[in-house]
Amino acid sequence: MDKLNNLKELLNIHNLNNLEYKKITEILKREPNLLELGIYSVMWSEHCSYKSSKKWLKQLPSKSKIVICGPGENAGIIDIGDNDSIVFKIESHNHPSYLEPFQGAATGVGGILRDIFTMGARPIAILDSLRFGDIKQKKQKYLLSGVVSGISNYGNCMGIPTVGGECYFNEDYNKNILVNAMAVGVAKKNKLFFSKAAGINNPVIYVGAKTGKDGIHGATMASAEFDDNSKQKKPTVQVGDPFTEKLVMEACLELMQTNMIVAIQDMGAAGLTCSSFEMAAKGNCGIELNINKIPLREKDMSPYEIMLSESQERMLIILKKGCEKKAKKIFDKWDLDMSVIGKITNSKKMIIKKDNSVIADIPIALTEKNTPEYKRPWVKPKKVKKIKKFVFPKKNKVKEVIFELLKSPNLTSKKWIWEQYDHMVMCDTIKPPSYGAAIVRVHGTKKSLAMTTDCNSNYCKYDPFIGTIHAVSEARRNIISTGAVPLAITNNLNFGNPEDKNIMGQFVMSVKGMINSCKKYSLPVISGNVSLYNETNKIGISPTPVIGMIGLIKNTNSRNKKNLIKENDKIYLIGKKTNNISCSSFLERIILKNNKNLGPPPPINYNEEIKNGNFVLNLFKNNLIKCCNDISSGGIIISLLKMLINKEFGAEIKESFINNSTNDEKFYQILFGENSGNYIVITNNEEKVKKLAKKNKVNLFKIGTTKKNYLNINNQIIKLNELKNNFENNFFNYINN
């Protein structure tokens, strides 16, 4: 009985069920020892194995002419010509960031940067996608401050610009915040590196920081929901050191200029365990490790602690035999530990030794490749009914409406966040954080990259399928609004407990939405991450499928740099006038004043998305655009203000644009409704724009003209300094009160 009780307790600690334990004993043909049980627990965790999601992830379109490497490696790689390739990926650090916001967010950034330079790429940009609860709550302010500090500290110390991202607040995230970090790097196509181990007797080397007791069972923790005792899991959060990571990065990039590396992998989730097993599995070989050779930060660490530690800033490298001394010279130069801790074998097993005794003997393939794959039951999310009756404000209240919308932490300026990030380091940032996608120059070339992260959480909450299509579509519009051609996406799928058929249904429909939209737009999904069990005491987050996207501007120099906005430039809407306020920020903030039921998101119009997007790119090609923004949360007016206020301009809205209407409903629908496929452009050559629109059968409406000192809507004048003060200071007020 004691043995059974102890086993039950052990399985609970390791987040394994009885069927999984039975499978382990069948594989080993014996019971595992504690070390082996720990290894299986992290390798078969949701975080590492994707056992609930991989059935669906396999269906994502991941191939195209430009894809060099799709899902399965540390990051995805695309070809942008001239022997240049782009390496990028997004990952989550949600659970750790809730427990310890500074270190959780910091090590999330550190982890995604290692994924990039592990492939042989120099990181050139960081983006983040953040979700917090009610910003008025003291706990959420603490979490926000810690997360932002963690991101800025790590990125700034590494000397890599944080150039963009998004931050969203909703009470659905009160108990589980989301911290997703994306990184982008550049590498030559002929200098890419992968994690496939090879070469019998080739040495396995350990490089970087010493191993400590931080982060043990971090992967397991990230694969389970929280409860009232979750604070006890704080020791599972890793501790980062960006200065050490900077040394590791530079040393590895220098080693990559030689011909000594066979394979390379960072030690991320599950630490040395995951990196070694993954490398061996990809190479269909075995590895023998000597636990005595691993550099330790603390005395008396057990093999269990060593193998499961998630101490940061560590790499595992397979060298060509005989290159050990040359490699060590490079790492000595950067003042880093390097130790030969094992060798490649043909056993197809992981053999771990201590003091010449075997302490673990595990088949590689049956641990990494053949992890459990669950076909979780799921049901389609219930359709939300459209709200039919609204009471609209009077037209003469539009000023009050605008100021109320700008009070929303989701619509107002986030300068407080992004001004803490060094977004200009490396001197290649062309368009820094503000609105839409960032633009970063590919150093030493004429090319630039546009990059963004996007997800409308409300849209996904009320319809995960359509909401995810909107996330892909909005990311695409953000890229196009810079004049860049969208190339590929990465994703971070954040959901609650997949063992709940309703939540699993949210996940399935979200993936289906991504498949649908990526096929329509011919966008491959080249990398990604799934974060499940984001819930506390059985209350989960809203479905949050974050989309990261990259676009290419082939010749940055061809763009008219003198095309600055002037007074009386013409403002045009590309697309159809909006008549939809369902699930909009206007409905949530002005009419309902809550988000209990906002109705379904607006329908997707792929024809409009594709036709209007191509038209905008054509306008950029012909240098007919001074400024461009897509229309998303908050509708035309909020999207217009975002692009004009930081340029010290307002606008005069034409009466004819709002139909000279006495109808309050139509007035607000046009100005604050949210549609699919719409853009705002500013031009000083309206005749050519109109001519091209007619030729391409694109809907074009003149919104008005730019004005230096005010915004005029319906003969209501709002001074620019008043608008700017509200837009830029409201967020500060939330933080300080």
Whole-number Å distance between alpha carbons of 503 and 172: 14
Catalytic residue among 14, 47, 217, 423: 47
Whole-number Å distance between alpha carbons of 516 and 556: 32
What contacts 106, CB < 8 A, 6 or more positions away?
150, 151, 153, 154, 240, 242
Catalytic residue among 93, 95, 423, 470: 93
Identify whether the C-beta of residue 163 lies closer than 8 Å to the C-beta of residue 429.
yes
Residue carrying the six token digits 């008005």? 704
What contacts 399, CB < 8 A, 6 or more positions away?
713, 716, 718
Residue carrying the six token digits 């031009």? 683
Pair of tokens at residue 441: 């120059």
Residue 419, CA distances (Å) to 107, 136, 155, 422 in order: 20, 21, 13, 7
17: enclosing H helix or E strand: none
DSSP-derived secondary structure for 576-596:
PPP---TT-HHIIIIIISS-S
Least Cα distance to 595 among 170, 3, 44, 107 occurs for: 170
Whole-number Å distance between alpha carbons of 168 and 456: 9
Axis crossing angle, helix 138-158 with helix 101-117, rounded to the nearest 10: 30
Whole-number Å distance between alpha carbons of 507 and 495: 7
Identify whether the C-beta of residue 27 lies closer than 8 Å to the C-beta of residue 366.
yes
423 is catalytic: no
In sequence order, the β-bridge partners of residue 353 are: 290, 358
Identify whether the C-beta of residue 457 lies closer than 8 Å to the C-beta of residue 544.
yes
93 is catalytic: yes
Whole-number Å distance between alpha carbons of 716 and 352: 75
DSSP-derived secondary structure for 224-256:
S-B-TTGGGGGGGS----HHHHHHHHHHHHHHT
SS3 of 488-500: the string is EEEEEEECCCCCC
Least Cα distance to 105 among 166, 211, 177, 210 occurs for: 177
Classified as helix, coil or strand, 544 is strand
Whole-number Å distance between alpha carbons of 447 and 316: 33
Number of separate helices (H) and strands (E) present in the chain: 25, 28
Identify whether the C-beta of residue 583 lies closer than 8 Å to the C-beta of residue 632.
no
Classified as helix, coil or strand, 337 is strand
Residue 176, CA distances (Å) to 97, 200, 496, 595 in order: 9, 46, 10, 18
Pair of tokens at residue 430: 């062309």
Pair of tokens at residue 79: 């070809």
Whole-number Å distance between alpha carbons of 702 and 683: 11
Residue 66, Cβ neighbours under 10 Å: how many? 17
Whole-number Å distance between alpha carbons of 431 and 422: 13
Identify whether the C-beta of residue 571 lies closer than 8 Å to the C-beta of residue 640.
yes
Give the helix, strand, coil percentages of the chain, each rounded to 5.
40, 25, 35
Whole-number Å distance between alpha carbons of 584 and 674: 6
Identify whether the C-beta of residue 316 lies closer than 8 Å to the C-beta of residue 229.
no
- Amino acid identity for residue 683 in this structure: T
Mind telling me the catalytic residues?
Answer: 47, 93
